[in-house]
Amino acid sequence: MEKLELKDIDVGGKRVLVRVDFNVPMKDGKITDETRITAALPTLLALINADAKIILVTHLGRPEVDSATDRKVLSTEPIAIAISRKLGTRVAHVDDCIGESVQRAVASMRNGEILLLENVRFYAEETANDAAFAAQLASLADVYVNDAFGTAHRAHASTEGVTHHLSPCATGLLMAREIYYLSTTLEDPARPYVAILGGAKISDKIPLIENLLGKVDKLLIGGGMAYTFLSAMGFGIGNSIVETEKFDVARSLVEREGFSDSILLPVDHVVGKTFDPETESRVVSKRSIPDGWQGLDIGPQTGSTFGEQIQAAKTVVWNGPLGVYEFEKFAQGTISVAKQIAGSESVSIIGGGDCVAAIQQAGVADRMTHISTGGGASLEFLEGKPLPGLVALTDRVR
């Protein structure tokens, strides 16, 4: 899928509506992690240098539409201040995203200036992809740029609806980078190609596993989802998390020809008595976990085996932590794998979500080839699903 990119269009002197993903964590009115803002800066700088009038639209959190408290706590005004500081230029803020006050603010803009709209999810029409609401948003601009990969799997007014009223509709630099790395991984990966999947539930990853089988050379599975596989194979898992209703799916995957050659499951575990950071813990040096214990991390032998596959790989895709990385006792497997990837010569693509926090915790984020800004979006892309916010953009004509 080839889409028009920002570099392909003339935005000089034009009003450009830019969908960004500034859904940043907040505490006491302050931003606690500016990663998503930093990731969008190249697109903003390119638009400034092109003398565009830049109108930013984003959501923040999941506000109750009629909540006065949410309107205060989830206002985008602190984000405007953060962007101003990072760019060294004033970023204006308006207290709505549609209506006369917004129209006036846009009309007064000069080339190269930035205006951040208020939280688009203060209107229920945003997530409903209401056509009239989308038309009002689109009326602010001449051109649309989507740089919010993290919301591309949602057909909302600001991600899909506006594209029916504006042309051209292009990807921003961040969106284009996401598409490049994820598409390359799917279509023409350097081999050996290794995928690492973790997280608590197999149900969240079934479509991804099915799409990856036959494409990857090795699939390494850890985290809570591994225990459903192991239990379905007849191994004892003690009190570990398990989805018994997914046994049939797990068995069907296990029974596929070539399963044992392509999929690696944990061969040992770090276990705890309870799900608690201070619980008693120990290493179980076999696949079966005794009753009264629950698997909370991959064991050292599994980490070593996974590491061998990572070191041999030319492409590594990772989605989901391999243990309860939030608890120090059970973070070592995830951190070990993060460091193995960082020390390899592979093209490394980190699939957003908890993996981003894990590699930051390991201190190796700057040594990864690409860190996706979209957890759910990157997962659906790798599953082979079309992303509405991407499909809606203008196709590049060769």
From the CB of residue 372, how many other CB atoms can be counted at a distance below 10 Å?
Answer: 26
What is the rounded CA–CA span in Å between residue 316 and residue 193?
A: 6
From the CB of residue 262, how many other CB atoms can be counted at a distance below 10 Å?
Answer: 17
Annotated catalytic residue: which of 238, 353, 374, 375? Answer: 353
Predicted local distance difference test score (pLDDT) of residue 206: 84
Predicted local distance difference test score (pLDDT) of residue 203: 82
What 339-342 contacts at long range (C-beta under 8 Å, 24+ apart), as own/partner pairs, is 339/364, 340/303, 340/306, 340/307, 340/310, 340/311, 341/310, 341/316, 341/368, 342/367, 342/368
Output the pTM of the full model.
Answer: 0.84
Annotated catalytic residue: which of 3, 19, 36, 218? Answer: 36
120: Cβ contacts below 8 Å, ≥ 6 apart: 57, 58, 59, 97, 126, 137, 157, 158
What is the rounded CA–CA span in Å between residue 39 and residue 122?
A: 24
Annotated catalytic residue: which of 201, 215, 367, 396? Answer: 201
Predicted local distance difference test score (pLDDT) of residue 333: 95
13 is catalytic: no
Predicted local distance difference test score (pLDDT) of residue 1: 56
- Six-digit token pair at 140? 């602010």
CA neighbor of 248 nearest in space, from 229, 266, 263: 229
What is the enclosing helix (H) or strand (E) of 186? helix 173-187
- Six-digit token pair at 202? 């197999």
> Could you give the angle at the alpha carbon of 165 between the alpha carbons of 162 and 168, nearest 5°?
90
Q: What is the pLDDT of residues 294-347, one digit of tens each?
A: 999 999 999 999 999 999 999 999 988 999 999 999 999 999 999 999 999 999
90 is catalytic: no
Predicted local distance difference test score (pLDDT) of residue 253: 86
Residues of the chain with pLDDT under 50: none
Predicted local distance difference test score (pLDDT) of residue 211: 83
Predicted local distance difference test score (pLDDT) of residue 266: 96
Predicted local distance difference test score (pLDDT) of residue 175: 95
HSE of 209, CA atoms in CB hemisphere, 13 A: 26
314 is catalytic: no
- Six-digit token pair at 331? 């973070």
Predicted local distance difference test score (pLDDT) of residue 8: 94
- Six-digit token pair at 281? 């813990």
Place of tokens 């930035």: 114
376 is catalytic: yes
DSSP three-state, residue 48 = helix
